[in-house]
Amino acid sequence: MLRVDSPRNEYYYTPNPTPYSLAIMAQAKKALAKKQRTHSESRTRANTYLNYIGGLWVPSQSGEWSENRNPADTRDLIGRFPVSTTEDVDAAVAAARDAFDAWRLTPAPRRAELMFRVGEILIRDKQEYTADMTREMGKVLKEAGGDVQEAIDCTYYAAGEGRRLHGFTTPAEMPNKFAMCVRQPMGLCGLITPWNFPMAIPSWKLMPALVCGNTVVMKPAEDTPLSTYNLVKACEEAGIPPGVVNLVMGHGSVVGARLSDHPAVRLISFTGSTETGQRVASACAERNAICSLEMGGKNAIMVMEDADIDNAVEGAIWGAFGTSGQRCTASSRLIVHKKVYKKFNQQLVERAKALRVGNGANSKIDVGPVINQDAVEKIMSYIDIGRNEDGATLSCGGRNLTKGDFAHGYFIEPTVFTDVTPDMRIAQEEIFGPVTSVIPAKSLDEAIEIANGVQYGLSAAIYTQDVNRAFHAMNDIYTGIFYVNASTIGAEVHLPFGGTKATGNGHREAGTQVLDIFSEWKSVYVDYSGKLQRAQIDNAKAIG
C-alpha cells in the first residue's frame, strides 16, 4: 500500500498501484515539493489552466495549449487550456481506478456530505461562475445564472440520495430464504459533455456518479472548459478525495475518443450531437462498455386554435431564441393551427424583431452570440437552405451581424421562417441556432403527425385551453418530455430528462432514474434454512 502527500496535505492510498498510478505518485511528490516552494496553483500563471489528475493540477504531456476566447468579443482572451493527449487520459483513468475502492467503500451518506459542501461552494461563488459562463459561452447573464443554479439544484438533489439509494426486498419462493436487490457502483465513468450547458450538464453526470460511489474522468467541450474547471475546483475545495474526480481537457477526437475506448472505463455518459454519440456508442459496443447517450433534438410547439396566443408567442420566443437557439430542447418548429396561423405569425415576428442581440454580459441584451465561427457558418448555411433550397418565407432575421458592436463576435439575428412544410430540411434537421420554422396544420391530429415526423424525440409542447386535447397530445407524442401551455424547455432536476429515437438510447438523466445509469443492480439471496433448497425444483412439489 502506498501513501502519498497530496497538495492539500491530506493522504490517499492505493491498494494496487499501476504503472500509471506510480507515475502519478512520482509526479505528485514532485509537484508537492514545488508547491511548498512556489505555492503553485491550478493556474500556473494568470489565465493558464491545468488538468486535474489524481488530486493534482498538471499540464498536458503534450505541452500544448488552446485559447478560449469570448464569443461575443474574440479580442477577449479568457485563458489557455491544455490540449491533452491519450497519455493524459490514461493517467487520469489510472488515478480514478486507484481511488475507486476507497470511494466506493466510503458510506454513501459520507460521500453525500462532501457533495453538500460542493453545493455550498457553488452557491457562494454563483455570481463569479455566472460571469465566467457568459464570457466563455455567450448566453446572457440571466440564463448563465440559471445554468449554475441547475448545477446547485442537481448537487443537492443527488446528495440527498446519499441517505436513500434505495434497493428493494421481495419474497423468495422458498421458505426460510430472503431476497433483496442492492445498488452497486459501476466503477470508473467517463463523462463527455457539450458546450451549451457547460456547468449544468457536467453536474447532471458528476453528482449522481459520485453519490453512487463511482470515480470519474471528465472531458468538457473544447469551447467551454472554464465552467467545468470551476465545478472541479469546487469539488477539490469541498474535500472530495484525490483521484475521485479527474478533469482532462482537449479535443474530442483525442481525449473523448480515448476515454470511449479505454478498457478500464466501464461507463461513458455522453451528451452532444447524435453523430458523435453514435461514434461513442460504437467504441463502447466494441468492448462491451455501458453507454448512456443524450443527443440532438428538433422540438415542436403545437399551437391550437383555442390557445392563449400571447402566452404561446412568449413560449415560442423563449424556446426558440433563448441561449441563441443553442439548446437541445430549443423550439425549432412551431406547428400552428391554420385558424390562428396569421395572427400567431404576426405577433411572433414582431416580438422576434424586437429582441436585442449583443454581448450577454449586458443585462439589456436578450440574445447573445452563437458559440464559434463554425456555428455561424452552419446556421447561415441552413438559412440559405431555407430560403433557396426549401423555398420557405424568411419573415424576419436571417443576417450574420458583423459590423459595429458585432464586429468581433459571432452574432446572428433571430430568424423566423414561415410557410414551412414538414418535409423541408429546415423542418427536419437540427440547426442549433436562433432559427425557427412555423408550419401550418389543419387539425390536432395533423399537428401530432408533423411533430412526430422527425428523427429526434426530446421535447414537445402544446398550447390549448382544452384538457381533452392536451391529454390526447400527451399520449400520442413520442418524446421524453412534454409540456402543456409552456415552452419546450424548462426541465427540473428531480424529473427524468432524455429523449426517444435519435435523441437517446433509452436512459434518463436527472430524477432518481439517473441512478440506474450510474449503479448496477445486485440481486442477493440469503438462505437460512440450513439445507439445500433448489429454486424452480423443490417448490414445484408444493403446487403439484
- Active-site residue, selected from the candidate residues 294, 305, 430, 509: 294
Report, in Å, the least distance between residue 499 CB and ligand NAD: 6
CA 340 from centre of chain: 36
Of the candidates 236, 255, 60, 224, which has an alpha carbon nearest to the alpha carbon of residue 148? 224
How do the residues of the chain divide into helix, strand and coil, expressed in percent and rounded to 5?
A: 40, 25, 35
Complex with ligand NAD: residue 259 or 303, whichever CB lies closer: 259
Report, in Å, the least distance between residue 42 CB and ligand NAD: 20
199 binds ligand NAD (CB under 6 A): no
Complex with ligand NAD: residue 117 or 327, whichever CB lies closer: 327
- Active-site residue, selected from the candidate residues 328, 396, 430, 509: 328
In the list 273, 311, 372, 428, the residue contacting ligand NAD (rule: CB under 6 A) is: 273
480 binds ligand NAD (CB under 6 A): no
Residue showing cell 443527488: 158
192 binds ligand NAD (CB under 6 A): yes
331 binds ligand NAD (CB under 6 A): no
150 binds ligand NAD (CB under 6 A): no
Report, in Å, the least distance between residue 419 CB and ligand NAD: 26
194 binds ligand NAD (CB under 6 A): yes
C-alpha to C-alpha distance for 274 and 271, rounded to whole angstroms: 9
Q: Could you give the count of Cα atoms lying within 13 Å of 413 in the half-sphere of its Cβ?
A: 19
Report, in Å, the least distance between residue 263 CB and ligand NAD: 16
Q: 479 in helix, strand or coil?
A: coil
Number of Cβ within 10 Å of residue 423's Cβ equals 10
136 binds ligand NAD (CB under 6 A): no
Contact region for ligand NAD (CB under 6 A) — 61-69, 226-234, 251-259, 533-541?
A: 251-259
Residue showing cell 463527455: 192
C-alpha to C-alpha distance for 76 and 70, rounded to whole angstroms: 6
C-alpha to C-alpha distance for 145 and 151, rounded to whole angstroms: 10
60 binds ligand NAD (CB under 6 A): no
Q: Are the C-beta atoms of residues 178 and 170 closer than 8 Å to each other?
A: no
328 is catalytic: yes
Report, in Å, the least distance between residue 50 CB and ligand NAD: 18
154 is catalytic: no
C-alpha to C-alpha distance for 437 and 155, rounded to whole angstroms: 36
Contact pattern from residue 422 through residue 441 relative to ligand NAD, giving x for each residue in contact according to CB under 6 A and a dash for the rest: --------x-x---------
Report, in Å, the least distance between residue 440 CB and ligand NAD: 26
Cα distances from 238 to residues 53, 234, 398, in angstroms, run 16, 6, 47
In the list 503, 508, 514, 518, the residue contacting ligand NAD (rule: CB under 6 A) is: 503
C-alpha to C-alpha distance for 504 and 293, rounded to whole angstroms: 5
Report, in Å, the least distance between residue 261 CB and ligand NAD: 9
16 binds ligand NAD (CB under 6 A): no
Strands (DSSP E) found in 211-252: 215-219, 245-247
Of the candidates 127, 99, 154, 134, which has an alpha carbon nearest to the alpha carbon of residue 367? 134
Q: Are the C-beta atoms of residues 150 and 497 closer than 8 Å to each other?
A: no
257 binds ligand NAD (CB under 6 A): yes
In the list 260, 299, 345, 519, the residue contacting ligand NAD (rule: CB under 6 A) is: 260
In the list 42, 271, 395, 415, the residue contacting ligand NAD (rule: CB under 6 A) is: 271
241 binds ligand NAD (CB under 6 A): no
50 binds ligand NAD (CB under 6 A): no
Contact region for ligand NAD (CB under 6 A) — 34-42, 71-79, 131-139, 269-277?
A: 269-277
269 binds ligand NAD (CB under 6 A): no
C-alpha to C-alpha distance for 315 and 393, rounded to whole angstroms: 22
Cα distances from 231 to residues 128, 142, 194, in angstroms, run 12, 19, 15
In the list 82, 138, 272, 511, the residue contacting ligand NAD (rule: CB under 6 A) is: 272
Residue 356 main-chain phi, psi, to 5 deg: -95, 120
In the list 122, 188, 221, 477, the residue contacting ligand NAD (rule: CB under 6 A) is: 221
Report, in Å, the least distance between residue 517 CB and ligand NAD: 13
Of the candidates 298, 293, 259, which has an alpha carbon nearest to the alpha carbon of residue 276? 293
| Crossing angle between the packed helical segments 200-211 and 225-238, to the nearest 10 degrees | 30
88 binds ligand NAD (CB under 6 A): no
Q: Are the C-beta atoms of residues 48 and 77 closer than 8 Å to each other?
A: no
C-alpha to C-alpha distance for 75 and 408, rounded to whole angstroms: 7
Contact region for ligand NAD (CB under 6 A) — 88-96, 158-166, 217-225, 536-544?
A: 217-225
Q: 189 in helix, strand or coil?
A: strand
Number of H helices, E strands in the chain: 17, 25
C-alpha cell at 2: 502506498
Report, in Å, the least distance between residue 232 CB and ligand NAD: 15
Q: Parallel, antiparallel, or unpaired for β 519-527 and 73-82?
A: unpaired
In the list 165, 212, 458, 470, the residue contacting ligand NAD (rule: CB under 6 A) is: 458
Q: Parallel, antiparallel, or unpaired for β 245-247 and 215-219?
A: parallel
Q: How many residues of this chain bind ligand NAD (CB under 6 A)?
A: 30
In the list 71, 145, 208, 256, the residue contacting ligand NAD (rule: CB under 6 A) is: 256
Report, in Å, the least distance between residue 35 CB and ligand NAD: 30
297 binds ligand NAD (CB under 6 A): yes
The residues annotated with a catalytic role in the active site are: 294, 328
The footprint of ligand NAD (CB under 6 A) covers 192-197, 219, 221-222, 252-253, 256-257, 260, 271-273, 276, 279-280, 294-297, 328, 430, 432, 458, 499, 503
